[in-house]
Amino acid sequence: MPAFPSPLPESAIVATLRAAGCVFAGDEARLLLAEARTPAGLADMVDRRAAGQPLEHVLGWAEFCGLRMAVDPGVFVPRRRTEFLVRQAAALARQAADPADPADPADPAGRAGPGGQTPRRARLVVVDLCCGSGAVGAALAAILGQVELHAVDIDPAAVRCARRNVAAAGGQVYEGDLCAPLPATLRGRVDILIANAPYVPTEEVGMLPPEARLHEPRVALDGGADGLDILRRVTAAAPRWLAPGGHLLFETSERQAPQAVAAVTRSGLIPHVASSGQLNATIVAGARPAAAGGPGG
Ligand SMILES: C[S@@+](CC[C@H](N)C(=O)[O-])C[C@H]1O[C@@H](n2cnc3c(N)ncnc32)[C@H](O)[C@@H]1O
């Protein structure tokens, strides 16, 4: 229901959106009507959507893991498939918090995960690298309850947006390159290092749908020649930051997974791949062995 008598009938909005190529024109029209605060605001939203702006940028939010995350124009829109990364991280985090909990998501028999057992912790430390809107870290914090959350992005627009989403979890957002802006006190203390970094190979950025190509920044998409440039850097840095028994997790394509696993192995972490056919998602994880001595890497 709109907050005012709408000068535009719903059917006219649906027709405009359909003519602009919006497949779910009916659902989108209802969302725009519910979100607009004034008739002029509604007309502007319909125009922007019909001109090809992502629905989430027009609404100002995206649904992610059942939560409403603020997403500003020019900031990467969190994808449904990334909910799989969050769920995998939540399962591994619960295991780190309580080693008696048979929560290895890849192990239906419930044996200890690849990192082995870790001491019970009251408040897990979570770092969300390449955080964009902050949706990944904020959703993980909402699932886990009490966590110490730190998030980083290189793009000032993303950092501003993430501060709004991460605030609910009492988290901190830093601007800078990967781990560089993190406080040194986090070294060797991170239970979950999660990174949905850019992983599209440079040559394929031009083939992305226009909503991504034209409305999301290139720095959010381009992962270098094979798409793994940033993830290799994240993987190389991870052992310095992970606690014993802590986990690195990131999203890749299915095709990239073997190379990503090789990078995880080179960094001294124990690799693990999981995928969801339903969400068309692949994640690669790396566990720091629980018995390791001081932080390496
Ligand atoms: C694919 S988007 C993902 C955003 C968010 N994690 C999500 O899933 O919605 C990648 C993000 O990485 C950020 N990024 C790219 N290179 C970076 C770097 N070197 N250090 C920190 N952030 C970086 C981009 O600004 C962008 O926000």
pLDDT tens for residues 10-62?
999 999 999 999 999 999 999 999 999 999 999 999 999 999 999 999 999 99
Q: Which of 71, 126, 153 gets mutated to test ligand 1 (max ligand atoms within 8 A of its CB)?
A: 153
For 86, the enclosing helix (H) or strand (E) is helix 82-97
What is the CB neighbour count within 10 angstroms for residue 38? 11
Residues 17 and 46 sit within 8 Å (Cβ to Cβ): yes
Ligand 1 mean position to 178 CA, how many Å? 9
Question: At residue 118, does pLDDT exceed 50?
Answer: no
Q: Which of 219, 232, 279, 283 gets mutated to test ligand 1 (max ligand atoms within 8 A of its CB)?
A: 219
The pTM score is: 0.90
How would residue 105 be classed by pLDDT, with cut points 50, 70 and 90? very low
d(CA 253, CA 257): 6
Residues 72 and 54 sit within 8 Å (Cβ to Cβ): no
Q: Tens digits of per-residue pLDDT, 137-146?
A: 999 999 999 8
What is the CB neighbour count within 10 angstroms for residue 239? 21
Residue bearing the CA closest to ligand 1, atom 7: 78
Tell me the backbone φ, ψ of residue 117, rounded to 5 degrees.
Answer: -90, 150
**pLDDT reported for residue 168:** 84
In short, whether 250's Cβ falls inside 6 Å of ligand 1 is no
d(CA 223, CA 134): 19
